[in-house]
Structure 1
Amino acid sequence: MPIKQNRHDQILKLIVEDFIDTAEPVGSMNLLEKYNLDCSSATIRNDMMQLEKEGLIEKTHHSSGRVPSAKGYRYYLEHIKNSEQSYEVDEEFKKEFALVLQKKSQAVEEVMEKSCQILSEMTNLATIVVGPKASQDLLASIQVIPLNSNTVTAIIVTDKGYVENKTFSINDQTYVNDIVQAVKLINKRLVGTPIEELADKLNSIRPLISDLLGERTNIIMEAFMEAFMKFARKRLETFGTSKLLELPEYEKEKNNLLNVVKFLDNPEKINSEIQNLDDSIEVKDDENMAIVTKNVDINGQNSGKIAVVGPKRMNYKKILASLEYVAKTLKQYYEQQGKDDDDE
């Protein structure tokens, strides 16, 4: 849709931004008085009637005012991306985010999750972090750590820094030594294998593992299979779902709230939705929900996505600027960390 610089666009922009700020339907007199427009109330009403005919605004059941439609939000967002106006990221957000990065030796997913937690706190919306597809990961190592005489933990790490662990209960100390030897064998045979292929590769060396563990082979095989399958699933975490309860549109429209909560509670639906979105905004037509996503690229590779989920009435300028800041800062942080490692 082409961008037109005219009074209709100005009226739509004011309606969208006023509704974002107040959550109240917008009337012509409100626009005239609040923004000192250089035209009559009748002119504004005519413009609003035209915007309504074009499907950019719509009437609510509860008021004579108008609110933006999904189509109207999309049109408005084209103005943001093509406008010189920018939103300054909140300084408090920057400080909180800087504290996350002060802690060294954190896994990438841990930093992204903490970033999303802060983003949820600052926006009062739900946030999602989705890790990269497992097909991009290779097995880096498996380590065995005895916790006590009866318990041992295996830590599985990928080349992208993702970690999974599995704890075993054992009957005697000699069993620990057998597990250590089995893990050495697995490392020797499987390090460098794509995560998606690990289950099949592990099955192929089952006879060798059985020589070491005997009748206990099934227990170990099942445990590692389960850990490998967790890696193979797309990783995601959600934050701030409860914050949506406080938003006026969801207080009034419980069905809309239920739809969003169901979405956030459905990993498969989140994955299918967000994996297809790249640095984009999706405004739903049939429900009061919008999703803003941002790719996070670290060391030249896609490390996942972060997303903000909430009602269509969200402060898009703030959300877009905050997501851009997180992605850019994470990229710079890990680039600098790589340089520091090279200098040592």
Structure 2
Amino acid sequence: MAGSTDQRRDEVLRAIVADYIASQEPVGSKALLERHHLNVSSATIRNDMAVLESEGYIVQQHASSGRIPTEKGYRQFVDSIHDIKPLSTAERRAIVGFLEEGVDLEDVLRRSVQLLAQLTRQAAVVQLPTLKVSRVKHCEVVPLSPVRLLLVLITDTGRVDQRNVELEEPLDPEQVLQLRDLLNDALVGKTLTDASTSLAELPEHAPAELRTAALFAATTLIETLVDQPSDRLILAGTSNLTRISRDFPVGLPLLIEALEEQVVVLKLLANVPDLGNVSVLIGEENENEELHSASIVTTAYGSDGAALGGLGVVGPTFMDYPGTISKVSAVARYVSRVLSGE
């Protein structure tokens, strides 16, 4: 019997969470009975609600009002979501169509956060692939003047970084090509961290007349790219949070400030789960105090089975968890497909 009582209480809790997410109004026993076919008396429901309240899953704000879920209640609700709600065909088609129009990796990711912000009506964030995981595909050397070069580094994740190098001696067009070949021999196929060793040794192996240019080019690449992998973020939809500001009891300005501080969000996205899994942090489960009034749903995107970065949404603790989880996971899946060229 205990099992079925617990099961029913779980059902009552799920119904309270679902109703509160839908209406943001406290939920009473009468409304629960009318909306959900729980097949029990109102006395039983009231008793279940009293037990759920004593166990800290729901709370009563005012003597006469219904109950609202606590963070513990939301956590229980999220942990009991087993099946991800499938997206409608129209939603799927819109996502794929919009992402496939992306011209390069950064454009695809920019589109993915715009989409997530629109689909969930919350703030969305994505991290560009860190240079730690991407490998160098090619390094182009463009002479801007006889003593000034532009190095263009292209990685296998579609990321492009550009650096200027000032030289002491002018190089002729033939020497520029030689320098390009030297750099590509040192870089292609390696992650930047691995490439730093061969870059450091590059001047020794260069022909005498190219040694200084090779030293300047290698130093520029090591100092600006290897030592400071620029983790960049793209954020969309923070204005969605101001729209629901009345529902953030405190701390909306703090939350928006935290989102605009890259470090806070990068920390969040540094711990994204493996490809295909979704993480949900609710309220005070977030390390950062500024995020205590929010819930955060994140996952990873990648190509060929390797995670390249994280993406997710930030919204109120009463967000539509099943819907948000399915949208975050679908967008990540389609981004991964587009990146893998499927």
Matched position secondary structure for 1:24: coil
Deviates more, 1:311-320 or 1:297-306: 297-306
The answer (yes or no) to whether the contact 2:20–2:318 under 8 Å persists in 1 is yes
Residue of structure 2 in register with 1:111 after alignment: 108
Residue of structure 2 in register with 1:27 after alignment: 28
The answer (yes or no) to whether the contact 1:93–1:118 under 8 Å persists in 2 is no
Q: In the aligned structure 2, how far is the partner of 1:24 from the partner of 1:230?
A: 51
**Mapping of 1:122-271 within 5 angstroms?**
122-145=119-142, 153-167=150-164, 181-199=178-196, 201-206=198-203, 223-225=220-222, 227-229=224-226, 232-250=229-247, 253-255=249-251, 257-271=252-266
The answer (yes or no) to whether the contact 1:58–1:68 under 8 Å persists in 2 is yes
Change (3 A) 1:52 1:100: same
Residue of structure 2 in register with 1:272 after alignment: 267
2:303 maps to amino acid = I
Change (3 A) 1:148 1:304: same
- CA drift of 1:246 comes to 0.7
Residue of structure 1 in register with 2:70 after alignment: 69
Deviates more, 1:260-269 or 1:60-69: 60-69
Residue of structure 1 in register with 2:60 after alignment: 59
Q: In the aligned structure 2, how far is the partner of 1:4 from the partner of 1:133?
A: 49
Deviations 1:153-195 (A, max 9, x none): 4321123332212356899996887665544332223333321
The answer (yes or no) to whether the contact 1:27–1:66 under 8 Å persists in 2 is yes
2:298 maps to amino acid = T
Matched position secondary structure for 1:238: strand
Residue of structure 1 in register with 2:289 after alignment: none
Q: Which runs of 5+ in 1 are unaligned?
A: 339-344
Residue of structure 2 in register with 1:303 after alignment: 308
Q: Which runs of 5+ in 2 are unaligned?
A: 286-291
Deviates more, 1:94-103 or 1:166-175: 166-175
The answer (yes or no) to whether the contact 2:99–2:111 under 8 Å persists in 1 is no
The answer (yes or no) to whether the contact 2:96–2:334 under 8 Å persists in 1 is no
2:154 maps to amino acid = V
Change (3 A) 1:142 1:301: same
Confirm or deny that 1:8 pairs with 2:13.
no
Confirm or deny that 1:313 pairs with 2:318.
yes
- CA drift of 1:133 comes to 4.5
- CA drift of 1:200 comes to 5.1
Deviates more, 1:299-308 or 1:49-58: 299-308
Q: In the aligned structure 1, how far is the partner of 2:173 from the partner of 2:224?
A: 19
- CA drift of 1:16 comes to 0.6
Name the count of aligned residue pairs: 330
Percent of pairs with identical residues: 27
RMSD over aligned Cα, in angstroms?
3.7
Deviates more, 1:150-159 or 1:7-16: 150-159
Deviations 1:98-141 (A, max 9, x none): 2234437x444432331121111121111122244533322221
Residue of structure 2 in register with 1:100 after alignment: 98
Matched position secondary structure for 2:68: strand
Matched position secondary structure for 1:282: strand
Change (3 A) 1:210 1:319: farther
1:80 maps to amino acid = I
The answer (yes or no) to whether the contact 1:164–1:231 under 8 Å persists in 2 is no
Deviates more, 1:108-117 or 1:305-314: 108-117
Deviations 1:35-73 (A, max 9, x none): 465444443222212111111112337983322111111
